[in-house]
Amino acid sequence: MIPPLARLWQPAALVLAIMLLIALPFGLERYGIYILSLWAVTTIAAIGLNLTLGYAGQISLAQGAFVGIGAYTAAIMTSAGWPLLVALIVAIILCFAVGWLLGYPALRVQHHYLAFVTLAFSTLAFLVFRNEQWLTGGIYGIFGIPRPTIFGFSTRSAQAFYYVCLGALGAVSLMAWWLVRSPWGRAFTALRENPLRAQSLGIDTRRYTLMAFAIGSAIGGVSGVLYAPLVEFVDPTPFSLVLSLNLLLMVIVGGQGFFFGPFLGALIAVLLPEWLRFTKGYYLIIYALVVMLLLIWSPSGILGILDEALTRRKTRRASALRAAARPTLDEGRAP
């Protein structure tokens, strides 16, 4: 039996992490706070992709485009004087609808082919951001996006806006936590593991595939809505295919299908290059090598390593229990 103390370590670690995240800005300069905010925003996008890819098994190279749609929605609306909250609602609805539509190809094609379809969408979105100058400001982008005032409190300062990002991350995490534990989440996993079997069990795979895309995309939109006021500038370059690939990397490195995978993956993608800056020109090479080695070592990501270690421990414990039970049988067999 697992002792109660061991069962407690997980919630304890979670509480500790949350407290740390709340306390961190007090010990950091503005740059550190900015990077932490960027981590929170990126993690939200990765959580969305983890739902689509990690839980429902639908590969998407379009998550960056949804972050872009969210960011442009926020930039255009808040510049026109709308509150960020309204922009958030519009972005969620817009990304949900576009994500739903993008899900249709997923009903017909899978794996690499689906990746290509979503890649095409990502390129299309980039071209719209860049070429529709009347709406998006084109290559010049939209400058001077205001940070919101919430209940009379201005979030203009780096610290205040960090808490907005952290709050949003908390809300999205809770929602995702609930979702993966609900029948929906089970249906997503069934879809990933064996679509045919899922269908034979009465799961409407068509609806759930579309839903997986739509929800993942809407969460990507939330991330974008925060990105725009964080950087206070949007232009098309950050939302190119590179962002989608980066988000994919985060989900895979962190551990796809693990709830905390995107948190870790984003931490590595945002912070590791920062930490490696002391190596000057070599930092991207080292970063790439570390990621490659990690994936060779553990294709299921960092949490995969942890999961493997825990499973091994459980197996060992079970073996030990079996071994302990064996002597009574061995006694009889002894010569």
Partner 1 sequence: MNKRHPFNRWLIVGAFAACLAAPAGAQDAVKLISVGELSGGGATVGTNFKNGADLAIAEINAKGGILGKKIEVTHYDSQSNPGVARGLIQRAIDEKPYAILGPGFSGSVKVTAQLTSDAGIAQVMGGEAAELTRLGMKTLFRTSFGQQSSMPKIAAYLVDEVKVKSVSMVWVNNDFGKGGRDTLSKELQARGIKIAADISTEAGQVDFAADVAKVKAAGADAVFVYLNEEESARILKEIRKADIKVPLIGETTLLGQKVIELAGEAANGVRGHVGLTTDAPVPAIQEFRKTFVTRYNYVPDHNGIKGYLSIYMIKAASEKMGKLDAKGLPDALKNLTILASKEPGILMDVTIDENGDLDRDSFLGEVVHGKQQITKILPKLKK
Binding site for partner 1 (CB under 8 A): 29-31, 34-35, 38, 130-131, 138-141, 143, 158, 227, 231-233, 235, 237-238, 272-273, 275-278, 280-281, 283-284, 297, 305, 309
Which is closer to partner 1, CB of 196 or CB of 296? 296
> Nearest distance from residue 273's CB to partner 1, in Å?
8
Contacts of 286 (CB under 8 A, 6+ apart): 276, 279
Of 205 and 307, which has the nearer Cβ to partner 1? 307
Cβ-based nearer residue to partner 1, 31 or 177: 31
Neighbour-count burial of 174, counting CB atoms closer than 10 A to its CB (0-12 exposed, 13-18 middle, 19+ buried): exposed
Residue type at 26 in one-letter notation: F
Q: CA-to-CA distance for 15 and 157, rounded, in angstroms?
A: 26
Can you tell me the distance from the alpha carbon of 196 to that of 203, in angstroms, rounded to the nearest whole number?
A: 10
Q: Are 147 and 85 in contact (CB under 8 A)?
A: no
Closer by beta carbon to partner 1, 133 or else 194: 133
Q: Report the candidate in 60, 51, 58, 64 with the shortest Cα–Cα distance to residue 259.
A: 51
Tokens representing 159 are: 């610290």
Residue 121 Cα to chain centre, angstroms: 19
* Cβ 14 to partner 1 shortest distance, Å: 20
69 or 180, CB closer to partner 1? 69
Cβ nearer to partner 1, comparing 69 with 102: 69
Read off the tokens for 315.
């197996």
CB nearer to partner 1: give 106 or 145.
145
Q: Which residue, chain included where needed, has tokens 């989440």?
A: 185
